[in-house]
Chains A and B, each alone.
Chain A
């Protein structure tokens, strides 16, 4: 897949679609959550309003260079993750910049944004930021493990690390999806998914009650706007990886919209039912329930 300049506008188009989709999706999901809690919830366009408002706000405050760069790192992480993964299978247009690397690149690039933001938040000097980061890091060590195992199992299954090839192997019917050909791996991955979506019971990182929203505590105005942008891109990008690996990918934007929504909804459904775990509880939970499934999946594969 050699690089051509035309891929840049195509990638930007993907980005544009995903941003809009993400804005609507997150609003919708917040509304669903509110309704489950017998509240009215936000308006469906509320995210647009918030985002525009924050971009419009100006500030004179910075805590230092890393603080300033934190949101940039964060959003670079989200955008990069989205663009390193092909969004629509079989489409030259929407295979984005996936020529740069394979599945491994995507998995490791997840950390780029988190790391940058953690550093930026750290420079603010606010202890809540640091506490949030430690919680997040602690949790991610256990939560990522089942996913890593599942990915390993899947790549063993398809004998490739190329996302495109993995999707290609799942074409030709629902039964070819990894979900059915390798249910253990998918189960492990989906449990891990719960842990990485910042939703209950694994949302101790943001924990509004104890450490008001955790790492981004000190961010406001345009900084916050960049982070909000990321917050709509990043989950979608992540779900896209899941979709590609386990649920047959998407051959068109319609299928994309539906699949991403459904996968996202898994974490929402779980989230509205369970209360929050403390860090050590969630670590134990992952190690006890998710990891064995993952191990089983690679042993069988």
Chain B
């Protein structure tokens, strides 16, 4: 198993673990944490997919000239994407945390089962 596939496999494993936590643990905060883990897994997968074994970071400098770049660097696109993904994940997490706070303030509970007034 190469480094790349290992990274991706780990990423997937993290996603599954995160989801397992998010879908079975009833504590809202822990769910949020679990989702963060899953997001991390996704980010890992993103990076892993952009990896080309044995190449370097996509920054042009003395070490990597423009002419060699195509042969030396890894795929820069997933790296750009992962940044966006991270920020968005962060945004959602922050939002969920704020929600969690308010939910706790209103019902003094962090159990997801508490918030089922709306149903059917």
User: Are A and B in direct contact (Cβ within 8 Å)?
Assistant: no
Q: Which residues does B use to contact A, with CB under 8 Å? A: none
| A interface residues, Cβ below 8 angstroms from B | none
